[in-house]
Structure 1
């Protein structure tokens, strides 16, 4: 499988591990250099690859723009560009022009890195703790790929030559669960023993293996919930296994999976501050503005447009006609709280609490709290993540709803509030209505990870987003049903035509953004 995809990344990493030299082979034989045997003493020969894997789950480079910011972030209606890329015919208006980066970057930095250290160092048998850790990291990343595309190359990865067979999304998810089960067992053994082997390479938890067990269990819970509508028995089984495991799931913000960026700048700084290509979506203004949500200033800056009053938060509706970048560029950019962060968010305790709230609502064994209590706990944890303490007033608000939106530049883009859902839990209402509360608050708490928020919107239909005004998909994507997936990269059709044809067959529809993935049932109800 395409070894050339990762040669450059691996080569750069090897240089860092063995010293600054342009000749890796001579360095390995240099008596004054670091030999393989010496590197193995402190796991340097394998650990660096896992550091890289952490940093490409949520791509910490500017490649994130086409990998996620102009796909998942836009489709979740978190952030949209004021820039009319490609004469305004781009992903945001349903004319896909960026759809390969999630595939290419993740395979070349996740699947290939783990495969390399298995093949070169027998890490699966010689270093079972590192292999288990690598499996968890791989699944965190590949979950995003299959959720984007549907069927993917997974069990056949590493085959010598094409065709590379695709697995159905169901088979991929079931493989995830099996691999997590084994990895969690292995990591638990090392956590019980107080292992510190990961310490030099861990950009999230400083080598605390117990925290990695919690992260793996939390991931298992996330994956389980994704199956709630399409495979409910399996979903409940895996969710309850995650909760009941010895180390449990993320419980506090100290457990959050946040990757240290080191000396790097958060990629969203480039898109928003440096390039001015990313602004708040109008849907955020409607939802968080309508709720007078104290997290809004944590996420976005006030607008600087001269037509707006001072202190105004103003977003751009997704999928509109934009003639010039100057029209909307002075609407709200991303807050320095986000762009100046030294960490990249992968998963948080707040998300886990909302997952447990939904599980409890479905009658699953999620712990000692009720659905309402987990829901309120999720709000509290999200507030506390940003140093806010006013969550009790917020969660008791039973009157605030989404707000109407007015586009001061073009009234054709204005809209009425898409939902009247309130914040305060209401036990007298239906499960469907309270699920809308859970997912709406989860959508707020997941920011800035639009990839996960978009997946949850596709699964549940919440929060109630706004259809695009301009749809350039030529009928491939329904305006009313929204974009459902990302098409396969063009390179797959030239390098693995037989394999991708099998993937499309497994998808069960045409390879467009309008075809639903396996867990996206499209039934319109969640109970």
Structure 2
């Protein structure tokens, strides 16, 4: 982590030193006439643009390799969306025996790269719009890191030139991030109707109002994450987030935060790497098959397993924690329906509607009822994916998720079948309607696996299948799920005292995958 930041700092110092020492004719003799000078780059806001777009590439990584580690191999399996289909992956997140290289990617790649770009942004401009948008992007990216590990370096990172920073407690990280989101909204509101350079914004093409809504929507996401550890603060922050006087949250699919990568990484991962390194998971197909969900054809490609009469056999995913299958066999399972030009999604109006549904279910002032927001979330999701039949789907009060049957007959699930139905029932008890809301939110936010994993840990929903083969029972007891990621071993060498001190914030206080982060304290789990 530190090497990347040090490299950035050294480069910045060298550049400053060179510029200070070059005067008069010397500059004329040593300037490449075909290369932009620093003054020219500044006039064109080049440094500002490159810093801001550089940060945006780390929220949901646009880089294929990093996306593979964080989305396809980590978030996808733990969120119930994806599974490995490369027989060479023997040390995997899904068996809980991942390699050290895999463990550190979220921590060591995201934090230093986001921080370095944010530092460049602060050095390049004093414009409150650019700086505030940068704060929102920083929170969106690094929130995923703290939710993965717990305590992380954040508020003191880089302070006084000390790059071996203490790790903040997760409570402190959340408090700092919520303050940053509030600061960003306050600074952006006077510019609400304005736009800035579209070259600096791959998400909203410079529309300030959309960034205000994203900041508030992230605040609502974070507020709900805190509900079991600090319900009073969670409620207050959620109510603030939906306040229209402060810009409000996402309400339509036009508000969705998406980014266009050069090529959608999922397309490369699912189709081009070795014929596809990942396939769809059994959890999401079992739920959607049972519900006869019209969005299946938008999310998935049918499996190539066939029935006795040669007919394609529908949508089948690979169960979490299967032993590595021969690739030609694994590739028969359903794939993701994704094209090279499909945009990557950060956050959607459907997710926000479900967040408001949960808030209303808890009695908070969300601007509507739990049922109305629940229905709105489903409708927004259907519309986002171009699927029809939302009205009939919402009236289905009898369909249940399937009990998974492996087409190979090897890894079928013998546990209990989920009993949650689709149709909203105001007479149902709180926990039943909470499960209903979270289940439909989980279906709607596909393929945001890290977000799905966080919500599963927070609520216990949806009812995901345990790993078929657990190869690390010392870390994750049989029949349970990972609650967090262990810190990369390099951090013990480079920042060991601070890491050891941070472990006191975990429950229990050890660096295991079974330890719980600050907000993971639902008494019903």
Using structure 2 for the length normalisation, give the TM-score: 0.90
Give the superposition deviation at 1:53.
1.1
CA distance in 2, matches of 1:249, 1:94: 37
Q: Does 1:326 align with 2:328?
A: yes
Superposed CA offset, 1:278-315 (max 9, x none): 11111112100000001111111001135674151111
Q: For residues 345-424 of structure 1, what are the structure 2 equivalents within 5 Å? A: 345-367=345-367, 369-415=368-414, 418-424=417-423
Per-residue deviation, 1:128: 1.8
CA deviations on 1:5-24 (whole Å, 9 max, x unpaired) are 5858999xxxxxxxxxxxxx
Written as runs of structure 1 = structure 2, the 5 A alignment for 1:35-434 is 35-62=37-64, 63-86=66-89, 88-97=90-99, 98-118=102-122, 120-121=123-124, 123=125, 126-159=126-159, 160-161=161-162, 163-191=164-192, 194-246=193-245, 247-261=247-261, 264-275=262-273, 276-306=276-306, 309-335=311-337, 338-367=338-367, 369-415=368-414, 418-434=417-433
Q: What is the CA distance between 1:162 and its match in structure 2?
A: 5.5
State the shift of 1:209 in Å: 0.2
CA–CA distance in 2 between the matches of 1:115 and 1:480?
A: 44
1:452-491 maps to which residues of 2 (within 5 A)?
452-491=451-490
Q: Distance in 2 between matches of 1:347 and 1:49?
A: 22
Question: What corresponds to 1:16 in structure 2?
Answer: none
Alpha-carbon shift at residue 328 of structure 1 (Å) = 2.3
- Residue pair 2:356, 2:370 contacting (<8 A) in 1 also: yes
Contact 2:228 2:522 in 1 (8 A): no
CA contact 1:93–1:473 (8 Å) conserved in 2: yes
Offset from partner CA, 1:135-190 (integer Å, 9 cap, x none): 00000001000000000000111143454200000000010111111110001112
Aligned-partner SS, 1:70: helix
Deviations 1:392-426, CA, capped at 9 Å, x for gaps? 00011001111122113234533355311000000
Superposition CA RMSD, Å:
2.3
CA gap of 1:371–1:257, structure 2 versus 1, over 3 A, is same
1:137 and 1:222 map into 2 onto residues whose CA distance is 15
Residues 259 and 6 of structure 1: CA distance in aligned 2, closer, same or farther (over 3 Å): farther
> What are the Cα deviations for residues 299-357 of structure 1, in whole angstroms up to 9, with x where unaligned?
1100113567415111111112235333322111111xx34343110000000000000
Indicate the larger mover: 301-310 or 439-448: 301-310
Distance 1:27 1:147 in 2: 52
The alignment partner of 2:491 has SS state of helix
Counterpart contact for 2:77–2:83, Cα < 8 Å: yes
CA distance 1:137–1:82, shift in 2 (3 Å): same
Structure 1 residues 269 and 9: CA distance shift in structure 2, 3 A: farther
1:19 equivalent in structure 2: none
Give the conservation status (yes or no) of the 8 Å contact 1:82–1:278: yes
Asked whether the equivalents of residues 28 and 35 of structure 1 are also in contact (C-alpha less than 8 Å), the reply is: no
Q: How far 1:57 moved relative to its partner?
A: 0.3
- Alpha-carbon offset, residue 475 of structure 1: 1.8
Preserved CA contact (<8 Å) 2:150 2:170: yes
Q: State the SS of the aligned residue for 1:220.
A: helix
Q: Is the 8 A contact 2:505 2:518 kept in 1?
A: no
**Distance in 1 separating the partners of 2:455 and 2:302:** 28
Is the alpha carbon distance of 1:380 and 1:29 closer, same or farther for their aligned partners in structure 2, counting shifts above 3 Å?
same
| Contact 1:304–1:330 (CA under 8 A) maintained in structure 2 | yes
Distance 1:81 1:6 in 2: 35
Change (3 A) 1:321 1:360: same
Contact 1:162 1:499 (C-alpha < 8 Å) held by counterparts:
no
Contact 1:28 1:34 in 2 (8 A): no
Q: Is the 8 A contact 1:99 1:489 kept in 2?
A: yes
Indicate how the Cα distance of structure 1 residues 10 and 375 shifts in structure 2: closer, same or farther if over 3 A, else same. farther
Task: Indicate conservation of the 8 Å contact 2:298/2:387, yes or no.
Answer: no
Relative to structure 1, is the Cα distance of residues 7 and 330 closer, same or farther in structure 2, using a 3 angstrom cutoff?
Answer: farther
**3-state SS of 1:465 partner:** coil
Partner SS, residue 236 of structure 1: helix
Tell me if the contact between 1:218 and 1:242 (Cα under 8 Å) persists in the aligned partners.
Answer: yes
The alignment of Structure 1 onto Structure 2 pairs a total of residues equal to: 500
Q: Cα offset for 1:468? A: 1.0
Conserved? CA contact 1:54–1:137, under 8 Å: yes
Question: Does the residue aligned with 2:323 lie in a helix, a strand or coil?
Answer: coil
Superposition deviation, residue 505 in structure 1:
2.4
Offset of 1:370 from its aligned partner?
Answer: 0.8
**Alignment partners' CA distance in 1, 2:73 and 2:450:** 10
**Structure 1: runs of 5 or more not aligned:** 12-24
CA distance in 1, matches of 2:28, 2:84: 48
Q: CA deviation at 1:481?
A: 2.6
In 1, distance between residues paired with 2:109 and 2:322?
29
The CA deviation at 1:109 is 2.4
**Using the alignment, how far apart are the partners of 1:434 and 1:27 within structure 2?**
73
Q: Which moved more, 1:39-48 or 1:105-114?
A: 39-48
Gaps in structure 2 of 5+ consecutive residues? 12-26
CA offset at residue 373 of structure 1?
0.4
Distance 2:166 2:120 in 1: 20
